[in-house]
Amino acid sequence: MSLAEANAFAFSLATSLMVSIVIFRAGDGTLVVTPADEYDGDISEIVGEIDPYAE
C-alpha cells in the first residue's frame, strides 16, 4: 500500500469508526493501518496518525 492509499484508508476508517488510526511500517516494509488503541509495536515505526476529533 502506498502512503497516499494508507492515508486515504486511515482517514476513511477514522471518520467512520470515530477513533484515532495509526499508520505504521510493518517488518516487511509495507504500510499498515490500525486503530491506535490496538497498536502495540515500536513507536519509531509509526508513519502517521489520523485523529477524527483533531481540528
pLDDT of residue 1: 84
Domain boundaries, the chain: 3-50
Supply the pLDDT for residue 45: 95
Q: Determine the pLDDT at residue 44.
A: 93
Give the per-residue pLDDT at 20: 97
The CB-side HSE value for 10 (13 A sphere, CA atoms) comes to: 24
Cell readout for 38 is 490496538
Q: Residues of 15-49 as b/e, b for ≥16 C-beta within 10 angstroms?
A: eeeebbbbbbbeeeeebbbeeeeebeeeeeeeeee
Give, in order, the Cα–Cα distances in Å from 15 to each of 25, 28, 53: 22, 28, 9
pLDDT at 55 over 90: no
pLDDT digits (tens, 9 = 90+) for 7-45: 999 999 999 999 999 999 998 989 999 999 999 989 999
**pTM flag (> 0.85):** yes
